[in-house]
Amino acid sequence: MRRMFRLLPALLVLSAAFLLSACQRGEADKALLQAPAVGDLYAAELSAFSDYEFTDDKQTAIDPAYGLMKVVAVEDDGVVVVTENAALGTRDRARSDIKDPSTIVFDDSERISISKADLAKAYEDDLIYVVRRPTAE
């Protein structure tokens, strides 16, 4: 029982650090959405933005469909994005793909305009759940 009480402060510190990190990441994501740049990547629920139906290898509809969107143009009040060619039924793959999008192929045939207000709302509604600005290498 004593050992458990000794671990409690450490667990509280770790929990607080995790929450602080999550809050900071959220603020960083919001800042990127407020000042978008060409090349920005969004892990998102693609079916909330695209008019296309996403399917799996067996041509079964995926709804909701998750994947990446890439900013291809920045306009006065928003952005133009394209979606990746493939989508999945879970968020996990997009979360990992956004870290290294080198194998992702984007579909330039559908360009989607999103206002800055709608970007903020989509993030608030968790339709966009990770934002990344790739650095020049």
Q: pLDDT tens across 85-101, in order?
A: 989 999 998 999 999 99
- Please tell me the distance from the alpha carbon of residue 83 to that of residue 44, in angstroms, as a whole number: 9
Is 35 a residue whose pLDDT tops 60?
yes
Note the pLDDT tens digit of each residue in 38-82: 999 999 999 999 998 999 889 999 999 999 999 999 999 999 999
Looking at per-residue pLDDT, the higher value among 25 and 23 belongs to 25
pLDDT at 90: 92
- Please tell me the distance from the alpha carbon of residue 53 to that of residue 15, in angstroms, as a whole number: 40
Residue given tokens 């330039």 in the structure block: 108
Residues 132, 33 contacting (CB under 8 angstroms): no
Give the Cβ contact number of residue 23 at 10 Å: 10
- Please tell me the distance from the alpha carbon of residue 116 to that of residue 111, in angstroms, as a whole number: 16
User: Please, what is the Cα angle at 34 between 31 and 100, to 5 degrees?
Assistant: 65
- Is the pTM value of this prediction over 0.85? no
Residues 27, 77 contacting (CB under 8 angstroms): no
